[in-house]
């Protein structure tokens, strides 16, 4: 990585004294940099080394694995949709409307980013639980119980994934030229039409990036899920939860499940490469 950066700089040919500065990287920086890279990559390599490649196809098609994978993909997708539905308007509000306490709202929105997921799960349980603020009302009015259901999985995932989407979309909205919206207004478009026909298409790449990041975060959600939704195979046992449980009984199964999650992460990163990995 470090060598790539150095090569990318134009090497001065006329000023020989400048060559030293751009040509060589100080050892004091290079060594920890390489150690840091190893620290990040080595565990992944360890996973690959211990993967039972011979029995992999058979392992992958085990009903438990497929059930967990299907549930994970379904819930992560639903959670992403929920994030889009609520997060895009919230991002728009933060980016475009001046209101008192906007800084506070922005800070609140990012809390789930730094909150330990297990705390998030607990908080959700307290609100949506049968005796919780919203949960008791849902129970008495509709007879609906949220915790330890698939709905709870989706809510837990959306809770941790929404900040990713909001930050990405708000950034895109701030970067978008609002004069296009003025042009739309002069052509007879009201605010809603302008939003759907001009603003949204302009920030579509930002929304897509935010949705993919949010989806990846939702797919990997563990702490909030196991606290709020529990671990019922087929209903609330998502891939990360399955990995955790398999660890205690069947290490190889845990490795296979992890490999799947790793593959999905790498594919997503590759898809986002242009937007994130190539940032200067």
Partner 1 sequence: MTTGRPASLGQSVPAAGPRLLDAHLVVDRDSFRLDLPLTIAPGEVVALLGPNGAGKTTALRTLAGLLPLSAGHLTLAGRDLDHPVRRTWTPPERRPIGVVFQDYLLFPHLSALDNVAFGPRRHGLDRRQARDLAADWLTRMGLAEHARRKPRELSGGQAQRVALARALAVEPALLLLDEPLAALDARTRLDTRAQLQRHLAAHAGAALLVTHDPLDALVLADRLVVIEHGRVVQEGDAATITARPRTDYVARLVGLNLYRGYADGHRVRLGDGFELTTGDHHEGEVFVAFPPSAVALHPRRPDGSPRNTWPATITGIQQHGDNLRIQLVGPIEVAADVTPAAATQLRLAPGQPVWAAVKAAETRAYPAAPG
Within 8 A by CB and 6+ apart from 47, the residues are: 255, 258, 259, 262
Q: State the nearest-atom distance from the C-beta of 198 to partner 1, in Å.
A: 6
Nearest distance in Å: CB 208, partner 1 = 13
Query: Are 149 and 235 in contact, with CB atoms under 8 Å apart?
Result: yes
Dihedral of CA 223/225/230/236: which sign?
negative
Which pair of structure tokens corresponds to residue 97? Answer: 């409307």
Nearest distance, CB of residue 192 and partner 1, angstroms = 11
Buried b (16+ CB within 10 A) or exposed e, 255-278: bbbbbbbeebeeebeeebeeeeee
Compute CA 28 distance to the chain's CA centroid, rounded to the nearest angstrom.
34
CB atoms within 10 A of CB 105: 14
Could you tell me if 225 and 154 are in contact, meaning their C-beta atoms sit under 8 angstroms apart?
no
Rg (CA), the chain: 23
Interacting residues with partner 1 (CB under 8 A):
177, 179-180, 182-190, 193, 197-198, 201-202, 204
Closer to partner 1 at the Cβ: 63 or 190? 190
Q: Which two tokens stand for residue 156?
A: 């837990």
Shortest distance (Å) from residue 255 CB to partner 1: 45
- Would you say 116 or 201 has its CB closer to partner 1? 201
Q: What Cα–Cα distance (Å) separates residue 246 from each residue in 35, 240, 253, 273?
A: 31, 10, 6, 32
Q: Which is nearer to partner 1, 38 or 204 (CB)?
A: 204
With the C-alpha atoms ordered 156, 161, 163, 169, is the resulting torsion angle positive or negative? negative
Q: What is the DSSP letter of 176?
A: S
Nearer to partner 1, 186 or 278 (CB): 186
Instruction: Pick between residue 161 and residue 173 the one whose CB is nearest to partner 1.
Output: 173
CB 216, min distance to partner 1, A:
26
Helices and strands, number each (H, E), in the chain: 15, 0
Least distance in angstroms from the C-beta of 173 to partner 1:
15
Q: Is the CB of residue 67 less than 8 Å from the CB of residue 233? A: yes
Q: Tell me whether residue 184 or residue 216 sits nearer to partner 1 (CB atom).
A: 184
Residue 212 Cβ vs partner 1, minimum distance, rounded to whole Å: 20
Nearer to partner 1, 199 or 238 (CB): 199
């Amino acid at each position: 990585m470090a060598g790539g950066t150095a090569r990318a700089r134009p090497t001065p040919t006329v000023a020989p004294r400048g060559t030293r500065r751009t040509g060589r990287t100080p050892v004091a920086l290079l060594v920890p940099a390489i150690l840091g890279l190893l620290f990040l990559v080595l565990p992944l390599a360890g996973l690959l080394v211990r993967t039972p490649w011979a029995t992999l196809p058979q392992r992958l098609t085990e009903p438990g694995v497929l059930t967990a994978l299907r549930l994970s993909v379904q819930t992560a997708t639903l959670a992403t949709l929920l994030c889009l539905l609520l997060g895009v308007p919230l991002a728009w509000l933060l980016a475009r409307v001046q209101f008192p306490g906007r800084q506070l709202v922005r800070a609140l929105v990012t809390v789930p980013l730094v909150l330990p997921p297990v705390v998030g799960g607990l908080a959700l349980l307290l609100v949506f639980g049968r005796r919780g603020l919203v949960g008791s009302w849902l129970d008495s009015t509709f007879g609906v119980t949220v915790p330890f259901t698939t709905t709870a999985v989706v809510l837990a995932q959306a809770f941790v994934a929404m900040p990713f989407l909001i930050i990405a979309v708000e950034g895109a909205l701030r970067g978008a030229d609002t004069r296009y919206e003025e042009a739309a207004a002069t052509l007879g478009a009201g605010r809603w039409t302008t939003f759907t026909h001009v603003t949204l298409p302009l920030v579509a790449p930002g929304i897509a990036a935010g949705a993919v990041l949010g989806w990846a975060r939702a797919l990997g959600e563990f702490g909030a899920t196991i606290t709020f939704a529990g671990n019922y195979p087929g209903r609330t046992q998502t891939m990360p939860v399955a990995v955790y449980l398999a660890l205690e009984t069947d290490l190889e199964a845990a490795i296979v499940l992890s490999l799947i999650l790793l593959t999905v992460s790498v594919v997503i990163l590759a898809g986002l490469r242009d937007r994130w990995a190539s940032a200067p």
